[in-house]
Amino acid sequence: MATAEKPVMVIGVDDSEYATYALEWTLDHFFSSTVNPPFKLVVVYAKPFPDVFIGVGGPGMIVGSAGSYQFLNDDLKKKAALIIATARGICESKLVNDAKFEVDEGDARYVLCQAVDKHRASMLVVGSHGYGAVKRAFLGSVSDYCAHQASCTVMIVKKLNPKVESKEQK
Length of the chain measured in residues: 170
Number of domains in the chain: 1
- Any idea what the CATH number is for the domain that residue 128 is in? 3.40.50.620
**What's at 15, amino acid-wise?**
D
Is residue 168 a part of any domain in this protein?
A: no
Its sign, for the CA torsion 155, 39, 31, 19, is negative
pTM of the model: 0.83
What distances in angstroms separate CA 73 from CA 49, 78, 170, one per listed residue?
8, 9, 48
How do residues 75-127 score in pLDDT, each as one tens digit?
999 999 999 999 999 999 999 989 999 999 999 999 999 999 999 999 999 99
Domain hosting residue 147, numbered range: 8-157
Give tens-digit pLDDT for 9-18: 999 999 999 9
Tens-place pLDDT, residues 130-163: 666 665 555 568 998 999 999 999 999 998 876 6
H or E element, residue 44: strand 40-47
What backbone phi and psi angles, to 5 degrees, belong to 45?
-115, 130
Q: Per-residue pLDDT averaged across 36-51, rounded?
A: 92
